[in-house]
Chains A and B, each alone.
Chain A
Amino acid sequence: MQLIFEKSRPGRRGFKLPEIDVPIVSGLAEKYCRKQPACLPEVSELDVVRHFSNLSRLNFSVDTNFYPLGSCTMKYNPKFTEKIASLEGFSDVHPLLPQLAGGGMLAQGSLEVLYNTERLLSEICGMSAFTTQPLAGAHGELTGVMLIAAYHKHNGQRRKHIIIPDSSHGTNPASAAIAGYNVVVIPTDNEGFLDMQAYKQALNQETAAVMLTCPDTLGLFNPKIKEIADLAHGVGALMYYDGANLNAILGKCRPGDIGFDVIHLNLHKTFATPHGGGGPGAGPVGVCEKLVEFLPISRVVRRSDGTFALDYHKHKSIGYIAPFYGNFGVILKAYAYILSLGKSGLIQASENAVLSANYCLARLKDHFAPAYGKRCMHECVLSAAKQLEQGVHALDIAKYLIDKGFHPPTIYFPLIVKEAMMIEPTETESKETLDAFIDCLIEAALLAKTNPEALHLAPLSMPVKRLDETRAAREPNLRWQSK
């Protein structure tokens, strides 16, 4: 498709601004003004509408395709939450409004949403308090690590490293490093769990925290998780919970009860807010009692008269990590989702997510080698190592799925699994969708034996065939330029 810039015609307009209704004065001095206008497209409103409508159709999305991208929880996003977030009473509220009068009296509705969401998330996760401020999962991680640093500093300790398993999301070590910690990587044992011997050796008085995903990125629940937490606490380290996989355990166990001290959630995963093509998400952070005083400012508080206010007077706080109160529009959608599902609905979500993933694993395990074990939680990790013997990579299988109308699973993650394919079906996909997807994967496994070339050529039905990624990186072309 042509770029919007390539559709530009000099003099064409797409929007009318109001006529100027005030007396015109002379403009700014020349030295403050730009010489050339920005070369934005000159197109009509219909040009714009058609361009972006057609672009949208070049995407796979949850609303159009099964999207079992592991670790991303691509569940259905209810439509009514979109409508609520676009109510003027929410979308038009200026974030500085609470600063103007009576400590938040102009934004009581929004503050109540934030307060109630924090309370609900605390109860769901077994934490003492939450902040809704972090703007994404990785941002939540960074906030969490900063809280850990503040806690140790307050106790007069300078701990140096954070322990992270080799199966972790890449954001974990990146967040720890950016906050100033060294990263100690622990290998995974033969059963897919944290290697306890290596863990015990690495753990010492220098350990600031242990960062884990639970269930982990292999889709497994570590039965030794409590022991891991107790050992960490034994040396004064804190336990960090990466909430990417919370969708597996709602109402089944709570990070706080296990002994996790800091936790981030991805509202766009477990709590069904749209992924937006890569964002915005939201990554609220929950903490146990002893870390509450370090949470970022401001804090939403409830006054004795039932009204809500913002508290900025927290001298132990790590400070500002977001300009305001988080991605409010996203938090609001998650709040509506939680109210809609309620206690039973949340539990059923996890039960059915786990049921669906195990069903996929059961039907696929004879065709693709399971990374570890015969059971999983909300996602299963398979390996295409067997297919590699025929020269077929996980990538080839992924591209074949695209031709059949399925978004591929996450591939090549976790890094420790050869030719990994990580399938997360979620609870909102029907059995017939799962069956069609599974059948297609089995077909691919068969083709790997009989006609590997067919897999190498895929996809053939998309607007483009396989793209030259090496060229993209070697000769970066990162913007359009007029000829």
Chain B
Amino acid sequence: MNYIPHTELEKKEMLKAIGAASVDDLFKHIPKELRPKSFNIPEGKSEFEVAEYLKLLSRKNAICLTDFVGGGFYDHYIPAAVDALAGRSEFYTAYTPYQPECSQGWLQAIYEYQTVICELTGLDVSNASLYDGGTALYEAAMMAIRLTGRKKIIVDSGVSLIYRTMLYSYTSNLSIEFVETPVVHGQSCREDIYKHLDDKTAAVIVQNPNFFGAVDDFSDIVQRVHKCGALAIASVYPVSLGMLKNPGEMGIDIATGEGQSLGIPLSFGGPYLGFIAVKKEHMRQLPGRIVGATVDKDNKRGFVLTLQAREQHIRRERATSNICSNEALCALRALIYASLLGKSGFQELARLNYQKAEFAKTVLDKVSGVKVKRSAPTFNEFTVCLPKNADEVVCQMINKGFACGFPLGRFYKGLDNYLLVAVTEKRTKEEIMQFANSLEAVLCS
């Protein structure tokens, strides 16, 4: 199937209008020696055949496991209305709203999305979204470098290793100095951060909850950071903001994060949603698209892409970022999700996650040989120490039907016996009990 409507007769008419003898004639200026050396692509198949084949492939993925894996990406329930509305093709087959008059639906939706992000983070200005939490953190770091004119960044080790690695990849040619400070008793080590903080520091980057699940209040760090003329950046988990002190309350300058948990499927790593929100004074250094409200000729409210003087299509090599698009459809999902849950639903969601995880901690603590790390409070994810290699335990738990957590030894040397366990609102009391029973059985065997 090729989705081409032209009949043979129409093609002839079009060629005649062009004054070309054949379709080949339209390609004759491509030199012969540049014609493909090969083009070994299988011939096309019917929709039915392709769909059947891919359905078969989808069954080769193990999705029947009860999911306790998080690590920054969470198995939350997605209300049906999110799929139904984001699945409207008037949304998903449009493009960047360059022509505002015929794109008011998208522009208003993004303005509303920006409002949701500001409300969650407690900051003044959000952009229209970025690719994912990792690239959002990188953009935040680059913003801090531009805003301060400094090139040293302190990164707390509680920041996701994936994001830290991305940050280092992107900046490997830019002579930026990174200093990593340790996590002590689950939380950011103040002493180490302050030791490295100086008048060359552009920013301190922290994460809440951190990769090990620990919750923190960074207000004290932020005060010291500001005294040095540096900026504070926090990567945050949006569902936790139904309960936790938000970046604005801590005085954070730039908040970023992964919005996948807001109604976006896990989908093997993407598409996801990067969000970034800043204090008002920093808005002209934001990367990417921003939507603003204005009025039309009749003084009627309408929405447009704005502050475009920052962007690549105008500033080219002097732009704040090379980003051209955003993750609009994912931002729309997040907006619909936040609207459905609403003010009280979003708080309840956070409480549910917190309470279920606390229950899981209690139950797992009773499994012989298992020790839940309790040095710092957590939200919906926590670390447990197992009496043996977590990798092996995880494999055995799969046979019992559980994706029981992320073995931290995969990312951290010396943490081979540690497991990172996430508990969302989807996990029932029964599943949590069965998890503990199965773990008991696995550890005894």
Interface residues of A in 103-139 (CB under 8 A from B): 106-110, 112-113, 120, 123-124, 126, 135-139
Q: Is the CB of B268 within 8 A of A135?
A: no
Q: Is the CB of B329 within 8 A of A280?
A: yes
Q: Which of A22, A25, A177, A329 contacts B317 (CB 8 A)?
A: A177
Interface residues on A, range: 35 or more
Instruction: Assess A38 versus B269: contact at CB under 8 Å? Given A61-B94, A338-B41.
Output: no
Closest CB-CB distance, A228 to chain B, in whole Å?
Answer: 12
Instruction: For A202, list chain B residues within 8 Å (CB).
Output: none
Interface residues of A in 68-84 (CB under 8 A from B): 69, 72, 74-78, 80, 82-84
Complex interface bits, A26-69 against B, C-beta within 8 A gives 1, otherwise 0: 01110111110111111101001101111111111111110101
A449 at the interface (CB under 8 A from B): no
Q: Is the CB of B268 within 8 A of A95?
A: yes
Q: Is the CB of B325 within 8 A of A138?
A: yes
A393 at the interface (CB under 8 A from B): no
Complex interface bits, A75-99 against B, C-beta within 8 A gives 1, otherwise 0: 1111010111111111111111101
Instruction: Assess A351 versus B23: contact at CB under 8 Å? Given A93-B266, A341-B1.
Output: yes
Q: Is the CB of B266 within 8 A of A92?
A: yes
A413 at the interface (CB under 8 A from B): yes
Q: Is the CB of A431 within 8 A of B269?
A: no
Q: Is the CB of A173 within 8 A of B342?
A: no
Q: Which of B35, B88, B348 contacts A56 (CB 8 A)?
A: B88
A391 at the interface (CB under 8 A from B): no
Complex interface bits, A313-332 against B, C-beta within 8 A gives 1, otherwise 0: 00000111111111111101
A12 at the interface (CB under 8 A from B): yes
Q: Is the CB of B33 within 8 A of A226?
A: yes
Q: Which residue of B lies closest to A78 (CB)?
A: B3
Instruction: For A113, list chain B residues within 8 Å (CB).
Output: 54, 57
Q: Is the CB of A61 within 8 A of B90?
A: yes
Closest CB-CB distance, A27 to chain B, in whole Å?
Answer: 7
Q: Is the CB of B95 within 8 A of A226?
A: no
Q: Is the CB of B268 within 8 A of A466?
A: no
Instruction: Assess A431 versus B270: contact at CB under 8 Å? Given A223-B29, A459-B101.
Output: no
Stretch with Cβ within 8 A of B (4 or more), from A233-241, A270-278, A284-292, A439-447: A270-278
Instruction: For A139, list chain B residues within 8 Å (CB).
Output: 131, 135, 323
Instruction: For B84, list chain A residues within 8 Å (CB).
Output: 49
Instruction: Assess A95 versus B302: contact at CB under 8 Å? Given A17-B349, A325-B269.
Output: no
Instruction: For A146, list chain B residues within 8 Å (CB).
Output: 169-170, 172-173
Instruction: For B11, list chain A residues within 8 Å (CB).
Output: 352, 355
Task: Count B interface residues, CB 8 Å.
Answer: 206
Q: Is the CB of A178 within 8 A of B322?
A: yes
Q: Is the CB of A17 within 8 A of B352?
A: yes
Instruction: Assess A45 versus B340: contact at CB under 8 Å? Given A72-B95, A320-B165.
Output: yes
Instruction: Assess A274 versus B93: contact at CB under 8 Å? Given A40-B338, A89-B59, A477-B293.
Output: yes
Instruction: For B414, list chain A residues within 8 Å (CB).
Output: none
B307 at the interface (CB under 8 A from A): yes
A448 at the interface (CB under 8 A from B): no
Instruction: For B257, list chain A residues within 8 Å (CB).
Output: none
Instruction: For B327, list chain A residues within 8 Å (CB).
Output: 276, 278-280
Q: Which of A23, A43, A478 contacts B291 (CB 8 A)?
A: A478
Q: Is the CB of B410 within 8 A of A33?
A: no
Bound state CA distance, A321 and B174, in angstroms?
A: 16
Q: Is the CB of B119 within 8 A of A39?
A: yes
Q: Is the CB of B355 within 8 A of A24?
A: yes
Q: Is the CB of A320 within 8 A of B75?
A: no
Q: Which residue of B lies closest to A399 (CB)?
A: B101
Bound state CA distance, A3 and B13, in angstroms?
A: 49
Q: Is the CB of A60 within 8 A of B103?
A: yes
Instruction: Assess A25 versus B59: contact at CB under 8 Å? Given A55-B109, A318-B169.
Output: no
Q: Is the CB of A277 within 8 A of B97?
A: yes
Contact sample, A vs B, 5 pairs, CB 8 Å cutoff: A37-B242, A89-B61, A327-B272, A363-B17, A476-B125
18 more A-B residue pairs beyond the given contacts A61-B91, A348-B4, with a C-beta to C-beta distance below 8 A: A38-B120, A40-B345, A52-B336, A72-B95, A77-B89, A92-B75, A123-B38, A136-B323, A170-B314, A178-B321, A276-B91, A276-B330, A323-B132, A323-B166, A341-B1, A459-B102, A472-B306, A479-B115
